Amino acid sequence: MCGIVGLFVGCSTHSHCPKKLILDSAAPASEEAEAGTPVVPAPDNSGYNSPFRSWDTRASVRSTERRTLREGDAARPYFSPELVPLARHKYIQDLRPDLYDEVLIQHLYRYLDFTMKLEHLVVNRTALGIAQATVGVAVPEDMRFDAYKVYCDEAYHALFSMDLLRQVRQRTGIEPRLPELPYFLRRLQELQEEAGAENRHLMELVFVIVSETLISGSLMELPQDGDVVPAVREVLRDHALDEGRHHTYFAIFLKYLWGQLGPSERRTAALMVPRLIHTFLRPDTDAMRAELEGYGFAREAARQVVAEVLPETLIRESARSSATQTIRLFSFLGALDLPEVAAEFQDQGLT
């Protein structure tokens, strides 16, 4: 409802309220560590090579027009069928043409909803924390300034995702069949509960690093498909270009974070990575089953279709190949040197 909602007693967002974090950072020195304010001096700018040097001319929010549906789009698919797991199943291909088209549209809605929630509810909280120096990691001032740009980019990604969703809904008359929370958010909350209050914040930082270094790969495929509605391709291409800069930025941020963690915190953070990779990359199979039940599929048939198009082996293999670069970043810092960390990556099917 408002930017200061977390100041109200009993508010569920209290611990993450941006204003609370900023006010806490102004607490007396003895409380600084607890408030999350960096206790090491900020590194100077000379060691920071900004990936945002051409942001003013290249960022989507600065350089692209609003992406809109056009006349004639009705004959085109709203998502590449090859990238929609449900569309691979014979039962789905045998549906009435209008229902088959809806499966592609619901996949687009799920993707856009995922993006809006990721940007607004997770990534931008970290971007704001870096910008306002409340994140607990000391970074050069230029890097803090770049966090303002990340914040603008992510807000714009959420905006153009909602804009596109509303345009498609208006054009097609198809209402989104969305879960209250997408899988990644439910799973992240679960893992944060398990991690306990002392590691909750660290887990969110690691999740943002993981997601920001994984996301660029997931955005590259669809824009190549010339059949898909142009506005959808353009939105994904705009997003991918911005995320290329974010990938570099968060790889640098990871180095600063790692340099400021003690051995035991590094171990804790490294052990989080494999599960957070799966949290981000795992398809929302619950939402897919619910979608199928919404079309009239019996519960067991819906379960069977989803299990057949997305067997566990495929989900694991796809995560492993998508996560190669992210794993390399952590590996380069020595995060996988501890045998128990290496074993966790292996147990999770990532190495």
Residue ranges binding Fe ion (CB under 5 A): 154, 157, 212, 243, 246
Contacts (Cβ under 8 Å, ≥6 apart) of 40: 138, 260
Smaller CB separation from Fe ion, 154 or 291: 154
**245 or 266: whose CB is closer to Fe ion?**
245
Contact 188, 199 (CB under 8 A): no
What's the gap between Cα 17 and its chain centre? 20
User: Which amino acid is residue 324, in one-letter code?
Assistant: T
Please report how close the Cβ of residue 236 comes to Fe ion at its closest, in angstroms: 11
Q: Least distance (Å) from Fe ion to the CB of residue 167?
A: 19
Return the number of the residue (113 or 154) whose C-beta is nearest Fe ion.
154
From the CB of 158, what's the least distance to Fe ion, in Å?
Answer: 8
Reduced to 3 states (helix: H, G, I; strand: E, B; else coil), residue 226 is coil
The least CB distance from residue 82 to Fe ion, in Å, is: 23
Of residues 233 and 289, the one with the C-beta less far from Fe ion: 233
CB nearer to Fe ion: give 243 or 291.
243
Q: Shortest approach of Fe ion to residue 23 CB, angstroms?
A: 27
* Residue placing its CB nearer to Fe ion in the complex, 132 or 351: 132
Backbone Cα Rg of the chain: 21
Q: CB-wise, 118 or 195, nearer to Fe ion?
A: 118
Using alpha carbons only, give the angle 268, 195, 34 rounded to the nearest 5 degrees: 80
Structure tokens that stand for 31 in this block: 């409380």
CB of 245 to Fe ion, least distance (A): 8
Minimum distance from CB of 123 to Fe ion (Å)? 6
CB of 217 to Fe ion, least distance (A): 13
Closest among 234, 250, 61 to 159, alpha carbons compared: 61
Q: SS3 letters for 337-351?
A: CCHHHHHHHHHCCCC
Q: Which is nearer to Fe ion, 143 or 288 (CB)?
A: 143
DSSP letter at 91?
H
Q: What tokens were used for 342?
A: 């290496």
Strand ranges, E, within the chain: none
Q: 67: helix, coil or strand?
A: coil
- At 7, which amino acid appears? L
- Residue 344 near residue 271, CB atoms below 8 Å: yes
d(CA 140, CA 93): 53
Min dist CB 248 to Fe ion, Å, is: 11
Whether residue 293 contacts residue 299, with contact meaning beta carbons closer than 8 Å, is answered with: yes
Q: Which residue is nearest to Fe ion (CB)?
A: 246
The smaller minimum CB distance to Fe ion, of residues 187 and 246, is found at 246
Handedness of CA 226, 227, 228, 229 (dihedral sign): positive
Distance of CA 111 to the CA centre of its chain: 11
